Structure 1
Amino acid sequence: MDNQTEGNDEAATQPSDDREDYFFRTLADLANGGLPGMAVTLTCDGMLISGQLTSSVAFFEYIREAWERIVPTRPADDEQPGKKNALVVLAEQAIEASRERNEEFFSEGTTEFLLTTFVHLRDVRYFVPGSPPFKTDFWRGRIDRISGFNIGQMVEAD
């Protein structure tokens, strides 16, 4: 039976692809709405990625700040006022789009989840077979590439 069948309330909230994890997508949606960061460990492309769920807005704000440090605003000259780095502008557009999407989703009366495509983590640790773990501040990945997850964050053994 097709998951998109009209009149089936449960089907309307379920993903159409059996490989998609509706429960995990819901956690990602809740993180986008400001749910305090839940620790998760993901299995993705043969490695474990462990961190705190965070919102798309927080991820893009981090990216904007990093790009501002790396490539500062071009100084003004006689011809033009100072211009923002194109990467900073791109991050600001992503922040605004994420805010609008999240506000629309979490507005009063919303009953359907968005089925988010990407998940964002902060305070990330990567565990790759045969290599020592390494850390990054943030990570963004496609939910449909995650083959499993657990609640809780992995840490290196002492």
Structure 2
Amino acid sequence: MEQESSKLAPLEPISDNIDRDWLLQHLVTHANRTQDFTIPITLWVGGGLISGMLVSGSKFFDAYTEEIVKGVKEEGKDATRKFFREMGGSYYEPSDSPAHNTAFIHLLDAKFWSPSGQIPSSKHNGPAWRGRISQITGYSLGQLMAKE
């Protein structure tokens, strides 16, 4: 059985003169193109670490929207969902373009660490997080967990 991702156009080098890790960029492109791809990842950024599940832009916008909708009155929930789905619309459209949505990385259940330790972000799951790939100085696969 042929995998869906093998039907997509091959990844090409992206040359937009912005300094970012090409391997990380292609990992994010793969997540955005396949939609159901998730992988635990830890990112090194200025000031600390962010660890969570790398997801597609569409999964991010779904989760982000639901975080926002929690604070909206019942009569405004549908309009709010529609607004944010339209805002993130390009992430819901299939694309073979190698440059499609690769400037930003999206994490769910994000947890944050500073040099002094974990920064509390919530009692349960961490928030949906979005960041510029060009601002990430390093990464590793796998997710950090707080010591119990």
TM-score, with normalisation over the residues of structure 2?
A: 0.74
Are residue 119 (structure 1) and residue 109 (structure 2) matched? Answer: no
Which residue pairs with 1:140 in the alignment? 130
C-alpha distance in 1 between matches for 2:70 and 2:95: 31
Secondary structure of 2:95's counterpart equals: helix
| Alpha-carbon spacing, 1:132–1:39, altered in 2? closer, same or farther (3 Å) | closer
CA drift at 1:56: 0.8
Residue identity over aligned pairs, in percent, reads: 27
Amino acid corresponding to residue 98 of structure 1 in structure 2: Y
The answer (yes or no) to whether the contact 1:15–1:22 under 8 Å persists in 2 is: no
Structure 1 SS opposite 2:70: helix
Distance (Å, rounded) in 2 between the aligned partners of 1:24 and 1:64? 25
Residue equivalent to 2:116:
130
Q: 1:78: which partner in 2?
A: none
**Structure 1 unaligned runs (5+)?**
1-11, 75-82
Task: State the alpha-carbon separation in 2 of the partners of residues 45 and 85 from structure 1.
Answer: 37
Counterpart position of 2:21: 21
Offset of 1:155 from its aligned partner?
1.2
Instruction: Please state whether the residue corresponding to 2:83 is helix, strand or coil.
Output: helix
Tell me by how many angstroms 1:134 deviates. Answer: 2.6
The answer to whether the 8 Å contact 1:133/1:156 transfers is no
Superposed CA RMSD in Å reads: 2.4
Q: Do structure 1's residue 68 and structure 2's residue 69 form an aligned pair? A: yes
| Greater Cα radius of gyration, structure 1 or 2 | 1
Identify the match of residue 151 of structure 1 among 132, 141, 145: 141
SS at match of 1:19: coil
TM-score by length of 1: 0.70
Deviates more, 1:123-132 or 1:36-45: 123-132
CA distance in 1, matches of 2:22, 2:87: 24
